[in-house]
Structure 1
């Protein structure tokens, strides 16, 4: 049986980034991923926000998006927000994952696809769970698990529009209870999707997505459609995300904005702390080091957005959503929307 310093479970962005950092630090690292190909089973829209774009050099990004339109259920009088800076770019996640695998392997990590966890052939001094919203590692290590989830579905296709790159967000509890429906069209690809609380959907997700496409003037596809989706944790960072046996990163740790459901920025930042704590702990054997990876303390930054998430969940009918948009169209409402979306 092979023995490694660290076993990373899950070859998503958080897992591969953590594996690369640990391998660069000189540890013996293995990554196991149950999928046979990283081109399948993609669940993220791939939207990278400005703070991520400013701090990290990422490959395979689409054109910049500076314009956001927020729509009420009637789709009338949308609120327009335009930034002077590049606020969003949508990544080609297949290409980004492939690049992340190469970087991890160049650093010395072993990446194995079609590999199950727990791995019968590999023992590890420490295990890192990067295995998604419903983490098996979290359960096996006795850590917290995500209990507040929304479920999403999305279609992605190439387009030829020539229009201004725009992020369209539709608040309609009939389609996306507790969340939004969206179209992000950067002029090269269109991502059309919706997400919400599974217990409130009135029809199967593919039917709701088709209903949304029929009602919203989405761009016409010029090529094959890809469909993706899955659960998204929206309860904020979990409290217990580390033990002497391992820790959690990314969706497994609930490191997703409770309000916007954006998780790619934490996927880039959280591995830096996770790798540092893991290296120091394995080198010193001092459990005190693990206290620096405190989910309860890091959770505080999500408090405001958690409160806003609860408010959004209370919007159960289109009438209330229309009233909310009357407030959103005021200068204070626009200022709040800009802060959420652009800051």
Structure 2
């Protein structure tokens, strides 16, 4: 089989990249090792205002808008509340969104091969395996000739290794439970800064009146107990869930979160990286869906130029080192947050957040 582009990984970045390339008339094969896209979801699915303004997402798959954020110090006492004049966040039904995006890709002419594993590159061929492998026998290996390879295969990208590109080294690990709640109350995003719960990051509750998302994340080596055990401890005291009955069975999510910023080398003559594979996640807030879509849109423009011109050198325009300059301040704040190890320091920082300049700075980070 000969194609223009093989995209490895059918998360949001891979689905978007494949569909947009298909709409521009290119022959695209999108592969994912999962047999169905609606299982093994890792992301919370929080979309920010800028994403909702700039990208066409189906409103029916988005939860109620959220304008209110409450920040809690260790001990959950004297929180800081921020309220925006605009709708800042909406949480998507990610299973439904993946299914919708897959149909959009198919409608654009993309060939989608699920249950198909990326095995590596050999010469100019991309090796694929598994029962879903295009043209292969049962559990066979298929060699696909592709002009370019796109790695949308997550924070620990194998495609990055095979293309000789950079790989994420600064990773958090997160875990989240999701379950439906009874309607009522103002939709609110609760964030808890407590190194004993989330070493180097946050614990959170997003309650939009339809679902509760309860999670923790942090540097894996710093959890005194496992991340799942810590999540269980947090869920017992988590704010924003008063009167909410937690069902026995919940949807469980989790996985690595890159926080080192966009990697420097995210493209070479034979392909490029998008999404988590490229480190397209905010270094400070770990919000990944907005930079994921924006970087993917840039990747589509670069690949389209390379495919139409026949010049592999066009991929040099997809330069992670140049993009990193936009994240200097957040990278500096990430380093500062990584150094907070005691609850006393986190508690003291909230004194600054309660001042007008502190509240303004927090609003810029969360609402910009």
* TM-score category of the 2 structures, normalised to the smaller one: over 0.9
Unaligned 5+ runs, structure 1: none
SS at match of 1:117: strand
Report how far residue 203 of structure 1 moved: 0.2
Q: Which residue of 1 aligns with 2:72?
A: 71
Distance 2:248 2:221 in 1: 34
Q: Which residue of 1 aligns with 2:290?
A: 265
Matched residue count? 342
Distance 1:85 1:336 in 2: 17
**Which one of 320, 323, 326 corresponds to residue 345 of structure 2?**
320
Name segments (4+ residues, structure 1) moved above 4 Å.
none
Q: Does 2:135 correspond to 1:127?
A: no
Q: Which residue of 1 aligns with 2:163?
A: 141
Distance 1:29 1:297 in 2: 28
Contact 2:269 2:313 in 1 (8 A): no
Q: Which residue of 2 aligns with 1:52?
A: 51
Contact 1:158 1:224 in 2 (8 A): no
Q: Provide Cα deviations, 1:253-298, integer angstroms capped at 9, x if missing partner.
A: 0000000001101222122211111121122222331221111001
Q: Which residue of 1 aligns with 2:117?
A: 116
Q: Does 2:262 correspond to 1:228?
A: no
Residues 124-203 of structure 1 mapped to structure 2, 5 A cutoff: 124-203=146-225
Contact 2:265 2:319 in 1 (8 A): yes
Q: Which residue of 1 aligns with 2:35?
A: 36
Q: Provide Cα deviations, 1:122-144, integer angstroms capped at 9, x if missing partner.
A: 22111000000000100010000
SS at match of 1:215: coil
Higher mean C-alpha deviation, range 221-230 or range 237-246: 221-230
Q: Greater relative contact order (Cα 8 A, min sep 6): structure 1 or 2? A: 1
Higher mean C-alpha deviation, range 90-99 or range 223-232: 223-232
Q: Which residue of 2 aligns with 1:6?
A: 5
Q: Which residue of 1 aligns with 2:83?
A: 82
Q: TM-score, normalised by structure 2?
A: 0.91
Contact 2:155 2:279 in 1 (8 A): yes
Report how far residue 161 of structure 1 moved: 4.7
Q: Does 2:118 correspond to 1:93?
A: no
Q: Provide Cα deviations, 1:63-104, integer angstroms capped at 9, x if missing partner.
A: 000000000001001000001110000000000000000000
SS at match of 2:186: coil
Q: CA RMSD in A?
A: 1.1
SS at match of 1:178: coil
SS at match of 1:146: coil
Contact 1:147 1:235 in 2 (8 A): yes
Distance 1:216 1:11 in 2: 33
Report how far residue 220 of structure 1 moved: 2.4
Contact 2:270 2:312 in 1 (8 A): no
Higher mean C-alpha deviation, range 290-299 or range 208-217: 208-217
Q: Provide Cα deviations, 1:134-191, integer angstroms capped at 9, x if missing partner.
A: 0010001000000000000000000015111000000000010000000000000000
Contact 1:160 1:222 in 2 (8 A): no
SS at match of 1:134: coil
Contact 2:34 2:116 in 1 (8 A): yes
Q: Which residue of 2 aligns with 1:237?
A: 262
Contact 1:242 1:294 in 2 (8 A): yes
Q: Which residue of 1 aligns with 2:124?
A: none
Q: TM-score, normalised by structure 1?
A: 0.98
Q: Which residue of 2 aligns with 1:280?
A: 305
Q: Which residue of 1 aligns with 2:281?
A: 256
Q: Does 2:205 correspond to 1:204?
A: no
Q: Provide Cα deviations, 1:280-323, integer angstroms capped at 9, x if missing partner.
A: 11222223312211110011111111111111111101111100
Distance 2:271 2:313 in 1: 14
